[in-house]
Amino acid sequence: MKLSSAATAIMALSLVLAGCAVVEEVEEVEVVEEVPEAVEVEVPRHPLTGFELGGETVSGPSIAIKIDNTDAGRPQVGISAADIVFEELVEGGVTRYLAIFHTDVPVEVGPVRSGRPQDAELVPSFGGVFVFSGVGNSNVREIIRGTGLQLVEHDTSGGTPDGDFFFRSDRKPAPLNLHIEAASLLESYQDLAAPVQQFLFKTAPEEASAFVDGVPAEEIRVVFSNRIESHWEWDAATGTYLKFLLNGSPDLDADGTQISATNLLIFTPNYFDVEGLPSAKVGQTREAAVIATGGKLIQGSFDTTEFGAPIKLFYGEEQQVFLSPGKTFILLPPGVGSLAAGVTPGSMTYVSNGEEIARAF
């Protein structure tokens, strides 16, 4: 059948319209490339000082040594080389040091003194070797032995190879003349593992938590008892806090080096009588802390709720504390809940922009 011109035109128009119905307009969509959020990669660091290792590796154990800190025991030999030092209150209102060495282990360290129950809570996170002269009583020895650490005790080392590394120095009279050949002793324990990282660090000192969020602290004084005050002053030239004695003179190592710390931590554990000895509860607890770095300080807390694990530091809204690479000195003045006989809560004063500020524990 032959279509008319009008019918042909109508059919053509219908085909055009039908074709248009199946052609959809495609909207142009802008493609945005997602850039992943930058993640800070933690660089390998020395486990005790936080210095970047570069291509180096850490090997060999640390060595912890109990050292005298009385007027008669000063100046100590080798104390300035320690990576981390704890200052602990003991009986009689005096303090002793628990010094941890790894970066630089001195040929000689002393005077070596006896261990205390609190050492059994502090040393396990470092592992390695623990050197001390003896104990207050046999029960304290068993408490320390319970750590499973490699112990080198003078009083029980007779007839063993370890006994040969102790000697009596001519620097002072007994009992303050017992010293240890630390470097040589550690050579015989090189099969022990290296310590694990103890704190968090930032490579640039100006990125440390106390420097970023803290208040100026040019001078810090911490009272342990009516006999002992730990006095520190910020030294911008060296980027450290320098230690001074009560009479204002520098607190020196026997080699003339002034004791110093890049990071100064003040913990406030409570002291209790353990086997008749005042002992800080520094394990499996969480108490107040002050962290000073870069001439500034922040207030926070220390956490040791996981036994044998490195100490955790917090401030603000549960923010982790980052220290500056270097030596760390940790003061343990008595907290307000201390019940040990003869022990009273410590206190602290610091100078901020020329103003002296007191802080009770």
What is the C-alpha to C-alpha distance for residues 233 and 236, in angstroms, rounded to an integer?
Answer: 10
Domain that holds residue 277: 63-360
Residue 185: CB partners within 8 Å, gap ≥ 6?
63, 129, 131, 152, 162, 165
Is the per-residue pLDDT at 329 higher than 60?
A: yes
Is the per-residue pLDDT at 200 higher than 50?
A: yes
Using the Cα atoms of residue 302, residue 303, residue 307 and residue 308 in order, give the sign of their dihedral: negative
The pLDDT score that the predictor gives to residue 328 is 98
State the burial class of residue 226 (Cβ atoms within 10 Å of its Cβ: 0-12, 13-18, 19+): exposed
How would residue 2 be classed by pLDDT, with cut points 50, 70 and 90? very low
The better pLDDT of the pair 337, 361 is held by 337
The pLDDT score that the predictor gives to residue 261 is 98
Domain presence at residue 46: no
3-state class (DSSP) for residue 205: helix
How does the average pLDDT of the chain come out, rounded?
A: 91
Number of domains, the chain: 1
pTM: 0.89
The pLDDT score that the predictor gives to residue 42 is 73
Domain presence at residue 27: no
* DSSP 8-state assignment for residue 109: B
Is the per-residue pLDDT at 318 higher than 90?
A: yes
The pLDDT score that the predictor gives to residue 21 is 42
The pLDDT score that the predictor gives to residue 6 is 41
Q: What CATH number corresponds to the domain at position 350?
A: 3.50.90.10
Measure CA 329 to chain center. Answer: 8
Domain presence at residue 13: no
- What is the per-residue DSSP string for 240-308? EEEEE-TTS-B-B-TTSPBPEESEEEEE---EEEETTEEEE--SS-EEEEEEEETTEEEEEEEE--STT
Measure CA 198 to chain center. Answer: 6
For 267-314, how does the pLDDT look when each residue is reduced to its tens digit (9 = 90+)?
Answer: 999 999 999 999 999 999 999 999 999 999 999 999 999 999 999 999
The pLDDT score that the predictor gives to residue 33 is 56
The pLDDT score that the predictor gives to residue 28 is 55
Domain presence at residue 282: yes
Domain presence at residue 48: no
Domain presence at residue 53: no
3-state class (DSSP) for residue 223: strand
Domain presence at residue 8: no
Two tokens at 303? 């956490």
Q: Are 304 and 237 in contact (CB under 8 A)?
A: no
Domain presence at residue 50: no
For 236-265, how does the pLDDT look when each residue is reduced to its tens digit (9 = 90+)?
Answer: 999 999 999 999 999 999 999 999 999 999
For 38-64, how does the pLDDT look when each residue is reduced to its tens digit (9 = 90+)?
Answer: 445 678 999 999 999 988 899 999 999
Which residue carries 């001519």 as its tokens?
A: 170
Residues in the chain: 361
The pLDDT score that the predictor gives to residue 56 is 87
